[in-house]
Structure 1
Amino acid sequence: MKESAQNRLRRYNIKPSVQRMAVLDYLMTHHTHPTADTIFNALYPSIPTLSKATVYNTLNLLTEHGVIQMITIDEKNARFDARETPHLHFKCASCGEIFDFDLPPLQIESLKDYDISDIQVYCKGTCPSCQKKTQH
C-alpha cells in the first residue's frame, strides 16, 4: 500500500500542513522530476492561497529533512524527486526528460571511514525515443 504524504511527513517529524501535504503528494504522484515552478503552477489552481515562496520553502524543508531529493542534473533548474530508494538519473540531451533507473547495491566498503549522507548518480545522453527520431 502506498504511503500518504501526511504519513511520510509525520515519519520525518514534520508538521503536515495543507501546503506541505500538497507539495509532497504532487511529488509522490508525478515522477517527472518537476521544478518548483512546475509544482506551483500545478497546485495554484486548487490552492489559490499558495505562493511561490511557500513552495520553495516547503521544498527546502523537505530536502533538509531527507523527505525528498533535490536533483541538480542541469545548470538551469533544481528538480525534485520523492523516490526514497537509491537510483540513477538519466537526462536526455535532446528532449530534456529525466528517467529513473534502479541501481545495484553500491560497493562502498572502501569508504568505511566516511559518513555518507547522500549518493547521487547522474548520466546524460540520448534516450531511446530520441535516438529513433534521429535515425529516421
Structure 2
Amino acid sequence: MIINLKTLKDILKKKDIKPTYHRLKILEYIAKDIGAHPTVEMIYDILKDEIPTVSITTVYNTMSKFLEKELVSPVIITGTEVRYDYNTSPHHHFQCKKCDKIFDIDIECPFASGKKKTVYGHKIEDVHGYFKGICKNCLKSKKE
C-alpha cells in the first residue's frame, strides 16, 4: 500500500499527534504493510539504515504515543513480546509456529463485533483471540 506524505500527516493530525519526520517514517512503515505486525525492534532494524538519526527510544516513544491515541493496537500472543497492528478494527490473529509471522483472521465472533456484550454476567470490554499452527506458506514449502 502506497500512502503519500500528506495523507500520513493528516492521519497524525486527526489523532492530535505532531507529524515529525520520525513519526511520519514510522507510520509510513507500519501503514505500507498493514499485516506485518512488527515489534519496536523490527521497526528500528528496518528504519535505522534509512534514517541514521532514529533511535530505538524514538521508536518506543512513537509507538507508545500511537497506542495512546489508538492509531495502532497491541498484539500480545506469546510472553511479553508486543507487536503492533495498524488494523484497529476487531479481528483475530493466527501465528505460525514455524516462521513466527502473524496474520489477521476475519472470523465471525459475536463478542468481537460487539453484538454480545456480556457472558455469564461479566461485561466484555476487549476481545483478543488468536490461533497457532503452521501457515500456508510453511506448509507449502514443507511439501516441496
TM-score, structure 2 length as denominator? 0.79
Aligned counterpart in structure 1 of residue 61 of structure 2, from 52, 57, 68: 57
How far, CA to CA, are the matches of 1:10 and 1:100 in structure 2?
27
Q: How many residues align?
A: 135
State the 1:134 CA deviation: 4.8
Query: Gaps (5+ residues) in structure 2?
Result: none
Deviation at 1:32, TM superposition (A): 1.1
Percent identical across equivalent pairs?
A: 31
Pair 1:129 & 2:137 matched: yes
RMSD: 2.6
Q: How far is the alpha carbon of 1:41 from its aligned partner?
A: 1.4
Which 5+ residue runs of structure 1 have no aligned equivalent? none
Aligned mates of 2:37, 2:12 — CA distance in 1: 19
* Aligned position for 1:7: 10
Partner of residue 89, structure 1: 93
Deviation at 1:19, TM superposition (A): 1.0
Aligned counterpart in structure 2 of residue 119 of structure 1, from 127, 131, 140: 127
What TM-score comes out, normalization by structure 1 length? 0.83
Residue 60 of structure 1, CA deviation: 0.8
The secondary structure found in structure 1 opposite 2:46 is helix
1:36: Cα distance to partner? 0.8
Q: Deviations over 1:68-123 (max 9, x none)?
A: 0111112252111111322211001122111112233623243698472x432211
Superposed CA offset, 1:13-55 (max 9, x none): 1111111111111111122111111111111222211111000
Structure 1 residues 90 and 17: CA distance shift in structure 2, 3 A: same
In structure 1, what is the Cα distance between the partners aligned to 2:38 and 2:87? 13
